[in-house]
Amino acid sequence: MAARRRVAITGLGLVTPVGNDVAATWAALLACKSGGAAISLFDASGFPVRIAAEVKDFDPAEVIGDRKLLKFANRSHGFALAAAEQALADADIRPMPATGNRWGCAVGTGMMGVDFAELVAVHEHSAAGGELDATRLLTDASANNPLVFCRSQSTTGLSLLTRRHDIRGYATSVHTACASGGQAIGTALKLIRRGAVDYALAGGFDSMISPVGIAGFCLLSALSVDNEMPERASRPFDATRNGFLLGEGAGFLVLEEWESARRRGAHIYAELAGDGNSLSSYRITDSPPDGDGPIQSMRQALADAGATIDDVDYINAHGTSTFMNDRSESAAIRAVFASRVKDVAVSSTKSSMGHLIAAAGAVEVAICALAIHNGELPVNANLREQDPECDLALVRDVPERRRVRIAMSNSFGFGVSNSCVCLRRPDAVDGAGFRA
């Protein structure tokens, strides 16, 4: 039986609320900087929540330059195109005419397909009495722009990425809310393992900082209302937490078949080693108190990586800063790691970046790769009074220096879809398997 193909992470790209590239984001996380601030993208004065973690000073045209392509892109697509461009440049490899069919693309996509301003434009062209004038909508260019329809499709981001980079192999969009980015990367892992492709561009992108997005999460009482201190609003596992800080951004990775990456002398951040997924079947917006679904996804990821709990040194937690989620995840980590729970360092980088929804998992997998590569663990920022029900070995106050053999990234989404991805230190593996 042929050995299972291994997968190398050779390129990273990030656009986040704390930095528009990998270096800036990593430096901000180590410095415990927050991306939280008053919302500037629209007038939020009438909302109970007036803060978010926005991407700042970002112009996709400065990175892409293809204005014809950008006409079809909304805000989140711009993040995706920029992060993907960074990842490919970092990996120093791109699809070519002769190799494009051996490249795959898997993306985690967001919930918001239509910008709020575009919805307003349609509403303003409604007839008296509240009914749409269908004839005018179809014939009057000022009433409707066909590009709006193109930008609204759930596969538009995928289409823009594959067109931009001439990717002609297997391509797919994953939409499982907050688990989307992690599951997209897991999908790409399986594509390379089974030989469907040799290379993959994988990640996630999202932007829900709009009147519709803020209103929806307000109705669910999911967001922090600490409008006077946005930089401290996201405080996962803290006893005083009161909801998450909505963020936006994108994260992308270049993945390659291991031996191909070694032959070309590529820099390998980590091995993408394991993927686990489950459904909790509990509530559409909550994780189960006993952590059942997350337990399954973490155990599956470890088994898929051929690892045990003794091999894990760091977990980048889902850690949204909501009361239910943090306690559920803590229960899951305790159940999986048992007597080793105090030996495994944990932090949620949402404490600095906020919750990037569909982009969160992909960004956090990239953070795990950087933690392995740099031997440094980012802080669980804003932690002052640890919830006794979240009794984990949280990284606090300053980054922790540690040689990480295996890192895990947890992403648990609405609809209770659970993703866990395992990354392994490149020098921790030989031909026979895992080695400490």
Beta-bridge mates of residue 420: 276, 410
* Cβ atoms 272, 28 nearer than 8 A: no
Task: State the amino acid at position 178 in one-letter form.
Answer: C
Nearest partner of 148 among 102, 116, 175, judged by Cα? 116
Catalytic-labelled residue, pool 77, 105, 165, 178 = 178
Per-residue pLDDT of the chain (436 residues; tens, 9 = 90+): 578 999 999 999 999 999 999 999 999 999 999 999 999 999 999 999 999 999 999 998 888 888 888 888 889 999 999 999 999 999 999 999 888 899 999 999 987 666 666 555 555 555 545 565 655 555 555 455 666 666 666 788 899 999 999 999 999 999 999 999 999 999 999 999 999 999 999 999 999 999 989 999 999 899 999 999 999 999 999 999 999 999 999 999 999 999 999 999 999 999 999 999 998 877 777 778 899 999 999 999 999 999 999 999 999 999 999 999 999 999 999 999 999 999 999 999 999 999 999 999 999 999 999 999 999 999 999 999 999 999 999 999 999 999 999 999 999 987 679 999 999 999 876 443 433 3
* Cβ atoms 123, 211 nearer than 8 A: no
Is 150 an annotated catalytic residue? no
For residues 16 and 51, what is the distance between their CA atoms, to the nearest angstrom?
A: 16
Tokens at 75, concatenated: 């805000």
For residues 436 and 426, what is the distance between their CA atoms, to the nearest angstrom?
A: 11
Hey, CA dihedral for 342, 343, 344, 349, is it positive or negative?
A: positive
Domains of the chain, residue spans:
7-113+153-434, 117-149
pTM of the model: 0.92
Task: State the amino acid at position 281 in one-letter form.
Answer: S
> Strands 345-347, 393-394: parallel, antiparallel or unpaired by DSSP?
parallel
Looking at residue 270, its pLDDT comes to 98
For residues 263 and 397, what is the distance between their CA atoms, to the nearest angstrom?
A: 41
Task: State the amino acid at position 232 in one-letter form.
Answer: R
* Residue 163: other Cβ atoms inside 10 A: 12
Tokens at 249, concatenated: 């951004």
* Cβ atoms 247, 51 nearer than 8 A: no
CA distances from 384 to 141, 233, 239, 355 (A): 55, 12, 8, 20
CATH superfamily of 7-113+153-434: Thiolase/Chalcone synthase (3.40.47.10)
Q: Give, for 171, the enclosing helix (H) or strand (E).
A: strand 171-174
Residue with the two structure tokens 């932690």 = 383
Rounded-to-10 torsion of CA 56, 205, 327, 416: 150
Task: State the amino acid at position 36 in one-letter form.
Answer: G
**Per-residue DSSP letter, 3:** P
Nearest partner of 126 among 106, 144, 111, 150, judged by Cα? 144
* Residue 270: other Cβ atoms inside 10 A: 27
- 187 burial class (0-12, 13-18, 19+ CB within 10 angstroms)? buried
| Contacts (Cβ under 8 Å, ≥6 apart) of 91 | 10, 11, 254, 256, 266
Hey, CA dihedral for 262, 265, 266, 271, is it positive or negative?
A: positive
Among the residues of 15-115, which ranges form H helices? 22-30, 60-63, 67-70, 75-91
Catalytic-labelled residue, pool 165, 175, 318, 373 = 318
Rg (CA), the chain: 21
Looking at residue 155, its pLDDT comes to 80
Catalytic-labelled residue, pool 77, 165, 355, 373 = 355
Nearest partner of 395 among 236, 246, 234, judged by Cα? 236
Is 165 an annotated catalytic residue? no
Is 77 an annotated catalytic residue? no
* Cβ atoms 116, 209 nearer than 8 A: no
Task: State the amino acid at position 110 in one-letter form.
Answer: G
Residues in the chain, total? 436
For residues 208 and 160, what is the distance between their CA atoms, to the nearest angstrom?
A: 20
For residues 405 and 33, what is the distance between their CA atoms, to the nearest angstrom?
A: 27
Looking at residue 145, its pLDDT comes to 63
**Per-residue DSSP letter, 425:** -
